Amino acid sequence: MSASSPSAVPSFRSRIGCDTRGGFYAAPQRYRLHLSLSCPQSLQIAVTHSLLGLDRVLPVALLPAVPDAPDGGHMALRPLYEASSHQYSGPAVAPVLSDNWTGTIVSTHTPDILQDLARRFDGPGRDLYPRGAEKSIDTVRRLCEQGIAWAAQRAGQSDGDPAARDTALATLLRTLALLERRLASQECALGSELTLADVHLWVSLVQLDTVHRHHLDATAVHHITGHRHVWAYARRLAAHPAFGSHLDLDGIARRHHTHCRGMEAAGAAVQIVDWMAYAPRDESVRHPG
């Protein structure tokens, strides 16, 4: 397995409402995002936040790349979790959308947070969750979760059943082939305009190259690299300030090595994208504390 995740993590799933009757309604500076950019879910939220231009409306608090609590959580988030769940004893993990007015957690559920950022806050950025595209965006999200992230992790399990690994790799390659055909004729995941589907897909590709590749053999990585339109798309988005500016490559590597439960394979030496060309030059700001 590529990495392990903290267990028994609660899911807070309140939503940002449309008006004052909704309880958690959109208001400038009311909420705060707590993100660790080495975490793929946090990276999705950070990219979306930038694309929407929400800097002045919704502040972001950056957390260490590697959780600093013994239980795998973040010490800075402990007060929020304890205020939101009576006698909470589990890990205080990111990402978190919190309410400054009550000092409690609104949501830890990334898909909900992404949708609420796109729909409920008045930012100057693009429409990332257009009406009528909801099902298509969710389809891409699930494709990324199952066809890329889960399949790549399963394919890299050195202690797993060889047949299961082969099946997972075949699933990953079929997913990339589908995306290759799509991106050969269009610039973005759903057409010509960026949407949340591109956020999901780009972060999945980052994780595939910077994390999961380390547990695949060189032949598998060679086949993955062969999808030239997919990786051209990944490089193109990495060059976009809202995407590449949030790359914390050192943090991703340190988080991976901290949680890694698998053997490194020959594919680790076959880098697909030179992500360093797009990441911020001074990454010290990505590692508070």
Domains along the chain with CATH numbers: 134-246+263-280 (1.20.1050.10)
Degrees (nearest 5) of the Cα angle 187, 190, 191?
45
Question: Concatenated DSSP letters for 88-134?
Answer: --S---S-EEEETTTTEEEE--HHHHHHHHHHHS--SS--SS-TT-H
pLDDT of residue 1: 43
pLDDT of residue 5: 44
Q: 41, 63 in Cβ contact below 8 A?
A: no
**What is the rounded distance in angstroms from the CA atom of residue 250 to the CA atom of residue 259?**
14
pLDDT of residue 159: 77
Q: What are phi and psi of 170, to 5 degrees?
A: -65, -40
Strand 96-99 relative to strand 104-107, pairing: antiparallel
pLDDT of residue 86: 85
pLDDT of residue 107: 96
Answer whether the bond into residue 95 is a cis peptide, omega within 30°: yes
CB atoms within 10 A of CB 142: 11
pLDDT of residue 98: 97
Strand 60-62 relative to strand 96-99, pairing: unpaired
DSSP 21: G
No. of helices (H) and no. of strands (E), the chain: 11, 4
Q: 9, 93 in Cβ contact below 8 A?
A: yes
Secondary-structure percent of the chain, ordered helix, strand, coil, rounded to 5: 50, 5, 45
Q: What are phi and psi of 34, to 5 degrees?
A: -115, 110
- Low-confidence residues in the chain, pLDDT < 50: 1-8, 285, 288-289
pLDDT of residue 20: 67
Residue-wise pLDDT tens digits, 72-94: 999 999 999 999 998 888 999 99
